[in-house]
Amino acid sequence: MTELRLPANSRIETGKTWNAPANAARPREFHIYRFDPSRDAQPRMDTFTIDLDEIAPMVLDAIQKIIDEVDPSLALRRSCREGVCGSCAMNINGKNRLACLTHIDDMGDGPIRLTPLPHLEVIKDLVGNLEQLYAQYELIEPWLKNDEPVPERERLQRPEDRDKLDGSYECILCFCCSAACPSYWWNGDRYLGPAILLQAHRWLIDSRDDHTGERLDALDDPFRLYRCHQILNCTSACPKGLNPAKVITDTKRMLARRR
């Protein structure tokens, strides 16, 4: 079940219905969360039925069809449509996923239910507020820090050191993991959550970065790091197959080793 961060005592109402064209060969229903906090007292679920024969196979294609031809007021973030930018993350049939990488045919029978990522403040419809997450990203200083003189060309790295970044560099900051993490739901103002901790670890293990001690100091906090209780929701939510829970454990190990 998706939990959304909504105004107190709000209730999701039944919204408008748009039927498929009469000649639709493969009609499919989409139930889509609609809420504009500047205008609406309550959120609602709208029902759109579209002809799958008229679109490409992904959930994002269906949403785009709806925006282009049925209701242009439907809000979502999207850019690459290739699973690279991370912006189309949302909850699809109860699981956080990227709309552009989710095949409609893999969603089984019945209506497909689209809601924003859980526990984010809703800006509008499928768009959640990412301000807190990006402020936390800034806090871990996600750039190379090295006090050696800048070389004439790039800073070199041995292939075996570069290999250590596998499993981290692929992160697209979609936040499917953080929005699936119960610890982040309850303590997101102080716990950094799996996406940001995976990014923090990426810099801890980069052989070219020489500020490891200072980076560990910044994480050595009962909330920032130690609110992870190894529930593993993050790992099962990641659409890129990454394992934030494992790197969080590794970060805790790095801290334990230096004590």
- Provide the binding-site residues for ligand SF4, judged by CB under 6 A: 171-177, 181, 183-184, 194-195, 198, 228-234, 237-238, 240, 242, 244-245, 248
Q: How far is the CB of 247 from ligand SF4 (least distance, A)?
A: 9
Q: How far is the CB of 209 from ligand SF4 (least distance, A)?
A: 19
Q: How far is the CB of 22 from ligand FES (least distance, A)?
A: 32
Q: Which lies closer to ligand FES via its Cβ, residue 20 or residue 76? A: 76
Q: In terms of DSSP bridges, do strands 127-128 and 122-124 run parallel, antiparallel, or are they unpaired? A: antiparallel
Residue 127 within binding range of ligand FES, rule CB under 6 A: no
Q: Which lies closer to ligand FES via its Cβ, residue 83 or residue 111? A: 83
| Nearest CA among 211, 192, 210 for reference residue 138 | 192
Q: d(Cα 250, Cα 203) in Å, to the nearest integer? A: 13
Beta bridge partners of 98: 89
Q: According to CB under 6 A, which one of 34, 65, 78, 202 is a site residue for ligand FES? A: 78
Half-sphere exposure of 48 (CA within 13 A, CB side): 24
In angstroms, what is the C-alpha Rg of the chain? 21
Q: How many angstroms separate the Cα of 196 from the Cα of each of 21, 44, 137, 142, 240?
A: 45, 32, 6, 9, 15
Q: d(Cα 10, Cα 51) in Å, to the nearest integer? A: 32
Q: How far is the CB of 145 from ligand SF4 (least distance, A)?
A: 22
Residue 83 within binding range of ligand FES, rule CB under 6 A: yes
Residue 75 within binding range of ligand FES, rule CB under 6 A: no
Q: Which lies closer to ligand FES via its Cβ, residue 87 or residue 93? A: 87
